[in-house]
Amino acid sequence: MGFKEIKGQERAVAQLKAGLTTGRISHAYLFYGPEGIGKAKAARIFARALTCENPLEGEPCEICSNCRKAHSGNHPDIQEVFPDRTSLKISQIRNLQSKVYLKCYEGRFKVIIIHDAQLFTIEAANSLLKVLEEPPERTIFILLADNIQNLPDTIRSRCLHIQFNPLDQGVISEILTEQGVNTKIPLSLGQGSVGKTLKLMERIDYQQLLLNISHLIGDLKRAGYREILAWAESLEKDREMLEVTLELITSMYRDRLVRCTTGKEELLWGTDDFVEKESKPEICIAILEEINKVPLYLKHNVNLRLVLEMLLIKLRNIEREERRLDSID
Ligand SMILES: [Zn+2]
């Protein structure tokens, strides 16, 4: 199959294939982008194309003995390193160091794929840096990272960056259908990641969650500080659920906005079962604006709990304004 297996990442694939066909191969790559969008799969195909005996136009032949060994995970020149629990440790890099200066066993290149490179300890990153500064001959490092901000500049600057983008919902749907998976949650919740969508499908009871959030939002107008602080506390505890909850609230107000401005039921995202039928566009827009600010605050390291408390208080105040407007009307 080769690079055809990678869906929705045309630019990244084109960059990799261009290197393979021209022979301009970097000794270190950094594949970055959210989890579950094809980075690891692309790294393995790239590794096969590098070790293949008969590569054709940047694609592995998939039938030579090197390709077959790589497929079964038994190629001596292809190594994958995963975090040891929550971090990539110096012992793992030392272990690699002892091997990378040895000759290739079979293929043209040795390929080291390092998963979750954002989890390097400082010592491990420094140790890898030494290897990257004196790159062993014909050894290619592929670092995979969800978030490159957490990688030291010194390592980032020594890699060729290949960006992987969140996938369109159409692409996610196509991939899930191919895998025989029935989608039980709105694809927007997966935020462009097949991996995340699958994880969420396992984890959440969507209908129940929808009901809970609709009750919480419904009660928000009347909520006192104690309830708001309790909700913020429970949201803070589970980052993944926080993202889903914010996504659902956004989707709900987006549906309200569409309904009150266009009245077109066919444009709704399907959260209409639990939205109030009547709303005002300015209320919806004000609320959507507040929710959209959350990632920005978090980027600037503002305390998450504080951000959530302020957000819920603002949403409540905006909703209360609606009541006042209603009574004026
Ligand atoms: Zn081959």
pLDDT digits (tens, 9 = 90+) for 207-254: 888 888 888 888 888 888 898 999 899 888 887 788 888 888 888 888
What pLDDT was estimated at residue 276?
Answer: 60
CB 65 within 8 A of CB 35: no
What pLDDT was estimated at residue 221?
Answer: 83
Q: How far is the CA of 80 from the centre of ligand 1 (A)?
A: 19
Q: How far apart are the C-alpha atoms of 190 and 34, rounded to whole Å?
A: 11
Q: How far is the CA of 74 from the centre of ligand 1 (A)?
A: 14
Q: How far is the CA of 117 from the centre of ligand 1 (A)?
A: 28
Percentage above 90 pLDDT, the chain: 55
Q: How far is the CA of 47 from the centre of ligand 1 (A)?
A: 11
Average pLDDT, the chain: 88
Q: How far apart are the first and last CA of the chain?
A: 63
Q: pLDDT digits over 284-326, tens only? A: 999 999 999 988 887 777 888 999 999 999 999 998 875 555 4
**Strand ranges in the chain using DSSP code E only, listed in sequence order:** 28-32, 78-81, 110-114, 139-145, 160-163
What pLDDT was estimated at residue 329?
Answer: 38
Place of tokens 């293949």: 52
What pLDDT was estimated at residue 209?
Answer: 85
What pLDDT was estimated at residue 277?
Answer: 59
Q: How far apart are the C-alpha atoms of 245 and 6, rounded to whole Å?
A: 30
Q: How far is the CA of 192 from the centre of ligand 1 (A)?
A: 31
> Which residues make up the CATH 1.20.272 domain(s) of the chain?
204-328
C-alpha atoms less than 13 angstroms from C-alpha of 93 in its C-beta half-sphere: 21
Q: pLDDT digits over 114-161, tens only? A: 999 999 999 999 999 999 998 888 899 999 999 888 899 999 999 999
Q: How far apart are the C-alpha atoms of 61 and 55, rounded to whole Å?
A: 5
Average pLDDT rounded to a whole number, residues 263-285: 72
Q: How far is the CA of 25 from the centre of ligand 1 (A)?
A: 18
Q: How far apart are the C-alpha atoms of 98 and 83, rounded to whole Å?
A: 18
> pTM, whole model, 2 decimals?
0.77
**Residue 65 identity (one-letter amino acid):** S
Strands 28-32 and 139-145: parallel
pLDDT band at 274 (very low <50, low <70, confident <90, very high): low
Cα dihedral 129, 133, 135, 141 in deg (nearest 10): 40
Q: How far is the CA of 257 from the centre of ligand 1 (A)?
A: 54
CB 6 within 8 A of CB 13: yes
The torsion angles phi and psi of 26, rounded to 5 degrees, stand at -80, 155
CATH of domain 2-165: 3.40.50.300
What pLDDT was estimated at residue 244?
Answer: 85
Average pLDDT rounded to a whole number, residues 278-282: 82
Q: How far is the CA of 108 from the centre of ligand 1 (A)?
A: 11
Q: How far is the CA of 283 from the centre of ligand 1 (A)?
A: 59
What length is written for the chain?
329
Tokens representing residue 31 in the block:
């594949």
> Which residues make up the CATH 3.40.50.300 domain(s) of the chain?
2-165
What pLDDT was estimated at residue 327?
Answer: 45
pLDDT band at 272 (very low <50, low <70, confident <90, very high): low
Region for 114 from its dihedrals, namely left if φ exceeds 0, alpha if ψ lies in -120 to 50, beta otherwise: beta
| CA nearest neighbour of 186 among 108, 107, 273 | 273
**Strand ranges in 133-245 using DSSP code E only, listed in sequence order:** 139-145, 160-163
Q: How far apart are the C-alpha atoms of 118 and 121, rounded to whole Å?
A: 9
Q: Report the topology of domain 204-328.
A: Zinc Finger, Delta Prime; domain 3 (1.20.272)
Burial label for 232, CB within 10 Å (0-12, 13-18, 19+), is: buried
What pLDDT was estimated at residue 328?
Answer: 41
CB 23 within 8 A of CB 58: no
Q: How far is the CA of 70 from the centre of ligand 1 (A)?
A: 9
Region for 58 from its dihedrals, namely left if φ exceeds 0, alpha if ψ lies in -120 to 50, beta otherwise: left
- With a cut of 80, say whether residue 26 has pLDDT above it: yes
> What angle, 0 to 180 degrees and rounded to 10, lies between the N-to-C axes of helices 169-178 and 194-203?
70
